[in-house]
Amino acid sequence: MTQASPQRAPALSVTGLDVVIDGDGGSFPVVRDMAFAVARGETLAIVGESGCGKSMTALSLLRLQPPAARIVRGAIAVEGADVLALPRPALEDIRGERIGMIFQEPLTALNPVMTVGDQIVEVLQRHLSLGGAAAQARAVELLSLVRMPDPAAKARLYPHQMSGGMRQRAMIAIALACDPAVLVADEPTTALDVTIQAQILGLIRDLQRRLGTALVLITHDLGVVAEMADTVIVMYAGRRVEVAPVMALFDEPLHPYTRALMKAAPSLEAGAAKAALTEIGGTVPPLWDLPRGCAFSNRCSLATERCRREEPPLEAKRAGHLAACWEVADG
């Protein structure tokens, strides 16, 4: 399990989380045995290709998974509060106040018939009982905090009247309105161009440091991971296949899937010579039809008959560095 700093209690801890989707043919797993802990001021990145269970993990942290998905096992605690045991009213108190979320696409997450300012005010009224002129002033202050140009004027706009970068800033303002202990960012820059991506990621990082928030960052971008994370979970086919401090992961990736992801990404080193990127052959197997043994075995050049027959456990291969692979020797 990924551990928070020994000097600080975890703001968010997850243990043995299993999520399944119910269909006509029965249930199939989409998240298996997820576990981690992250303290205030720390960043945990969860990385992997599309279809590996990253976003379902993020949604499950707030019990926002789609109706067909069920959490069937595990524990989720936000500052000690058992999220899975909370009745609906108490859960709604936790959301927004103690754990906030930045969604992938703000245009669909924001309310199209309310101004951005009113949406921030709604959060302040719901969780802090702040209303009237004080709430309006605080909404403008929050938009200023996320570096929205002319925040008083932007507070009067509807989401469709804003650019993608501005909408993302508005969503960050809403997520941080109550100074939550935990912020979950699910692919927060996917729909933005490269320049705006860098601005938004820099903003999230700066606000996290300023406010001391625990950050769970969902991404497929290893450059973002290298720049922002303290600890990294690599997911494949619904489960963790490697867990390590960020420097250890980049210095010595252990799992063949992690190494393949790095070879498929542009060099992260300034001034490095350009090299041809290596495509990862094949695709992530459908979660309703996982192969026997290691789910990565059909794409892995190191796979043996044992890999195809037995699923490897996630275990320590180096100090603080876990991998689920039969072919990685203990160090």
Residues forming CATH 3.40.50.300 domain(s) in the chain: 12-98+178-323
CATH code for residues 12-98+178-323: 3.40.50.300
Measured N-to-C along each axis, helices 116-128 and 164-175 cross at an angle, to the nearest 10 degrees, of: 10
Query: What is the mean pLDDT of each successive set of 10 residues along the chain, which is 331 residues long?
Result: 62 98 91 97 96 95 95 96 95 95 90 97 94 94 95 97 93 94 92 84 91 95 92 98 97 96 72 64 91 95 96 96 93 70
Instruction: In whole angstroms, give the CA distance from residue 70 to residue 93.
Output: 21
Kindly report the three-state secondary structure assignment for every residue of 224-290: HHHHHCCEEEEEECCEEEEEEEHHHHHHCCCCHHHHHHHHCCCCCCCCCCCCCCCCCCCCCCCHHHC
Please tell me the predicted confidence (pLDDT) of residue 131: 86
Distance, in Å, from the CA atom of 156 to the CA atom of 158, rounded to the nearest integer, reads 7
Q: Report how far apart, in Å, the C-alpha atoms of 104 and of each of 3, 13, 305 are.
A: 26, 23, 39
Q: Which residues pair with 12 in a beta bridge?
A: 38, 78
Which pLDDT value is given to residue 245?
98
pLDDT value at position 203?
92
Reported pTM:
0.92
